[in-house]
A and B are shown apart, each in its own frame.
Chain A
Amino acid sequence: MSLLQVQNLKVHFPVKHGLFSRVRAHVKAVDGVSLEVGPGETLGLVGESGCGKTTLGRAIIRLIEPTAGTVSFEGEEITRMDGAELRRRRRKFQMIFQDPYGSLNPRMTVGEIIGEAIDIHKLAADDDARDARVKELLLAVGLDPIHAQRYPHEFSGGQRQRIGIARALAVEPQLIVCDEPVSALDVSVQAQIINLLKDLQVQKGLAYLFIAHDLAVVEHISRRVAVMYLGKVVELAESRAVCREPKHPYTQALISAVPVVDPDSKRQRIVLPGDVPSPIDPPSGCPFHPRCPVAEARCKVELPALREVAPGHWAACHLAK
């Protein structure tokens, strides 16, 4: 059984303006996404800015209320839980944030930040046990236990990201949604954080939903990868398959844009015309058709379903083989 099951999830934000704040339109940030994450697995989620990755990640752990669809965790529907029940369940699924500067409360010490998570779920018998646990967590993420008394501004970006990871680990979750956890860091620090995440996954059997816009990072950490475009998943397959033989024309264009360290490379670069359409008024049929190099007449009218084009390789394209 899968750990996390997302079915046909939609997040539509109303756009209000006019005299009586009438809802004039909806931004379809996430528009019918279905995916699964197994225990201890990493599912990568890639796509360009504004495609709805972050919204999807936040809607899955109900930091944003989904408009429609269901999210189930261990067979229980998160989307149906009431406030108190949801708060108790939250320790099972955590989040690591993109901005290492904004994700820690500047007025709290590191010990308070991590300790609060332990306190709220009553995971330590007393204050001493909690402090011991905080030290243990700091060691686990590669920081010195003495750092518990310091404030976030005394740390570098990479160190702060480690603190954010320790906070997420404090409640012993089974799933962590990583929302672009390395995109704000130096490349050398990125590798350290990704290796830390991989080590922790092996030690604690964590599952990750790893959101990123960097395909190389996602390929390195994920077993499977989902590619998003305009609020929809357009391709979902093993990370190797997505990177080596992409089936969807959008993924093909993405892969061709990854820089290669080989000056003699004669790879063909696919340049997509135009911009990403507005999610308020997405194109009819396949949302990718106005920019697609191989679009046909039926792409303009018929929405392609996500179908299995090869064993374990799903793509939402009429023409994919």
Chain B
Amino acid sequence: MSEPIDTTNNPDARRPRTPWQLFWGRLRRRRFAMAGAWILVGLYGLALFAGFVAPGNHERQDRERFFHPPTLPRFQDWRLVVPRYEQTKGGPFVYKARTDDAKPVRFFVQGDPYKLFWFIPTTVHLFGTGEASHPVLLFGTDQFGRDIFSRILYGSQVSLSIGLVGIALSFSFGMLAGGAAGYFGGRTDTLIMRLCELIMSIPGLYLILSLRATFPPKLSSAHVYLLIVVILSFIGWASMARVIRGMALSLRERQFVLAARALGLPAWRIIVRHILPNTLSYVIVAATLSVPYYILGEVVLSYLSVGIQEPDASWGNMLTAAQNTEHLQSYPWLLAPGAAIFVTVLAFNFLGDGLRDAADTKSN
């Protein structure tokens, strides 16, 4: 019997860093990727606390303030104040600030009732004046007098989560399909791959619209949300499956997979435990880079009025209001949700690029 190889009591034997630690170290050195990551943390945090951060309810219409311009709180007498705006008689929806009638901005004020985290009923908001006559309209209002800033926050709950849910759905299905195709090969492989090619060969937007057309046009927002996720995932899994299939083809010849087969593991367990975990470094990068596809998919569908229905907010259906060029010229703040989309997509791409570089050990 040979002696146990003892490394445990040796003080000099430092544990080598795991591949994940090395990966993390490389990622942290990429400033753009980290900036993207922090922006995303901030955006998702805002979406989570949307009701609290938003000064008002996103569905509340103010008939006195259609197309109200953005109002930034000003410093006056050592505190932040918002003036009251009055419609001038000169033309429609032209507002003038009444500097003599201003109210201070307070924090943790009472306002519209909402449910924090969808189940705690409360009326406390992060900021506001506490009075309906002096609303804090950071991004102005839309054609129904609704606060765009509040709507962007509530809309982000839809637009930001749709990417994550879509990725979870399409990637888990794509990984399983690709894993099975690559591992089994032969007819299974041919069948799955031809199906993928069929889906990928049809132009995306037409496929999305025709799939959407098979369902009734007026559905509740919750149903539409599910429908959008399913439709986008139905198209999105194909490209994932193709790449995973290629990786599974090479992984199944690796000796640890042969060892698993020799041990008598069932095929599904070999795929799930041995093949798919070894594709994870690719999958994480690909997932980050494809989240914008889902966000933009929702935007397109909602913009074409077959997505999230009014009065519920999503970044896509908010942009529908900006369709009208006349409105756009007079009230450019209607494009604010576009800026939100831009920032989000950019942040995801920065993070995805950083993840890809960090995963590629050869680039260093």
Where the two chains meet, the residues of A that have a C-beta atom closer than 8 Å to any C-beta of B are 58, 61, 63, 86-91, 94-95, 97-99, 102-108, 116-117, 120-121, 139, 142-144, 146, 150-151, 153-154, 159, 164, 167, 171, 192, 195-196, 199
User: Would you call B121 an interface residue if the criterion is a C-beta within 8 Å of the partner chain's C-beta atoms?
Assistant: no
Neighbour of A167 across the interface among B5, B8, B254, B263, CB < 8 A: B263
Q: What's the tally of chain B residues with a CB closer than 8 Å to chain A?
A: 30
| B364 vs chain A, min Cβ distance (A) | 18
B15 near A154 with CB under 8 A, answer yes
A97 near B265 with CB under 8 A, answer no
A-B contacts, 22 listed (Cβ < 8 Å): A87-B265, A88-B264, A94-B262, A97-B255, A99-B255, A103-B256, A103-B259, A105-B256, A105-B278, A116-B260, A117-B263, A120-B269, A121-B263, A121-B264, A142-B5, A143-B5, A144-B7, A144-B8, A151-B18, A171-B263, A192-B2, A195-B2
Q: In the complex, what residues of B have CB within 8 A of residue A88's CB?
A: 264
B278 near A90 with CB under 8 A, answer no
| B67 vs chain A, min Cβ distance (A) | 56
B4 near A63 with CB under 8 A, answer no
Q: How far is the CA of A90 from the CA of B8 in the complex (A)?
A: 35
User: Would you call B194 an interface residue if the criterion is a C-beta within 8 Å of the partner chain's C-beta atoms?
Assistant: no
Given contacts A63-B258, A97-B255, 5 further A-B contacts (CB under 8 A): A61-B262, A105-B256, A105-B260, A107-B277, A143-B4
Neighbour of A91 across the interface among B2, B259, B264, B273, CB < 8 A: B264
Q: In the complex, what residues of A have CB within 8 A of residue B186's CB?
A: none
User: Would you call B326 an interface residue if the criterion is a C-beta within 8 Å of the partner chain's C-beta atoms?
Assistant: no
Q: In the complex, what residues of B have CB within 8 A of residue A121's CB?
A: 263-264
Where the two chains meet, the residues of B that have a C-beta atom closer than 8 Å to any C-beta of A are 1-8, 15-16, 18-19, 254-256, 258-266, 269, 273-274, 277-278, 280
A63 near B261 with CB under 8 A, answer yes
Q: In the complex, what residues of A have CB within 8 A of residue B258's CB?
A: 58, 63, 95, 97, 103
B266 near A87 with CB under 8 A, answer yes
A90 near B262 with CB under 8 A, answer yes
Neighbour of B2 across the interface among A87, A99, A164, A196, CB < 8 A: A196
Q: How far is the CA of A95 from the CA of B269 in the complex (A)?
A: 19
Q: How far is the CA of A55 from the CA of B226 in the complex (A)?
A: 51
Q: How far is the CA of A98 from the CA of B15 in the complex (A)?
A: 26
Q: In the complex, what residues of B have CB within 8 A of residue A87's CB?
A: 264-266
Residue among A121, A154, A199 having the largest count of chain B Cβ atoms under 10 Å: A154
Neighbour of A116 across the interface among B1, B255, B262, B263, CB < 8 A: B263
